Structure 1
Amino acid sequence: MHNDEQHIRELIERWAAAVHAGDLDTVVINHADDIVMFDVPPPQDGVRGIDAYRAVWPPFFAWQAKGACFELVFLHVTAGADVAFAHALIRCGTPQDLAARPDRRLRLTLGLRKEAGRWCVAHEHHSFPLDTGGEAEVPPRCGER
């Protein structure tokens, strides 16, 4: 594995462990000052800047402290000389959530850039698959009609 890819993999694994532990300082340490994050809860137009990013985590940590999990189960990293991206799947939910939908995973996509020789997360996107429950029409994928 390419050295940068391994370094980014370790950075993301430390981030996920810090999220699980509720360690805010470690969660934010490798994020750019101008981070943009699109998350599951609002705001729909995203969270912009490190201060806003830092502010979204305490409510999540409080929810997680009631017994929810945040566990990295799959991670793929692709790195160039100064930009990289990664995508991952995460077990995220309460025991009741996971019992009801044991295969449901939080999807994570990260865009990273190298600043002064150091990798940092510049873009973060979390999402869950659309759960239509048979009630909503799911649009076709690109190229399907």
Structure 2
Amino acid sequence: MPDDAAQIRTLVERWAEAVHRGDLDAVIADHAEDIVMYDVPPPHEGLHGLAAYRATWPPFFQWQAQGACFDIETLDVTAGSDVAYAHALLRCGTPEELAEHPTLRLRLTFGLRKERNRWLVSHEHHSFPHD
């Protein structure tokens, strides 16, 4: 059986692939019911709960259908026995956006907890650097 860090790495990679495919059920599959997410667009106080998290994705999928990428470039995982975090940089943008800003990367942080021997994302944070 893979160690905890490897399990989390696989979870994040599967999540990113699901986001890129626009597969909403797979995007939310490993998220806790009480997830808190801070995202790039409002609300700036964050979203609380799986239903609110789920509702944020359809507009993103519509934007992404314009040919945008969502590709992990770096991913680091630190895992304890029952809590963990992961942080990543992703290429996220349309070809035009990335041509105009080739070094721009989406910053992603996950906070995870282990429940019943399963890792769940309980906190998610997305941000872009401010110019």
Q: TM-score, normalised by structure 2?
A: 0.98
Distance 2:101 2:20 in 1: 20
Deviations 1:107-133 (A, max 9, x none): 0011000011100000000000111xx
Report matched runs for 1:1-145 at 5 Å. 3-131=3-131
Distance 1:12 1:43 in 2: 24
Structure 1 vs Structure 2: percent identity of aligned residues? 66
Letter in 1 for 2:39: D
Distance 1:82 1:54 in 2: 25
Gaps spanning 5+ residues in structure 2: where? Answer: none
Q: Number of aligned residue pairs: give it.
A: 130
Rg larger for = 1
State the shift of 1:16 in Å. Answer: 0.2
Gaps spanning 5+ residues in structure 1: where? Answer: 132-145
Letter in 1 for 2:129: P
SS of corresponding position for 2:73: strand
Letter in 1 for 2:61: F
Q: Which runs of 4+ in 1 moved over 6 A?
A: none
Aligned CA RMSD, in angstroms, stands at 0.7
Distance 1:117 1:56 in 2: 28
Distance 2:106 2:61 in 1: 16
State the shift of 1:4 in Å. Answer: 0.2
Distance 1:117 1:83 in 2: 11
Distance 2:96 2:82 in 1: 42
SS of corresponding position for 1:52: helix
Distance 2:29 2:115 in 1: 13
Distance 1:130 1:63 in 2: 21
Compare relative contact order (CA 8 Å, sep 6+) and give the higher one, 1 or 2: 2
Distance 1:67 1:8 in 2: 28
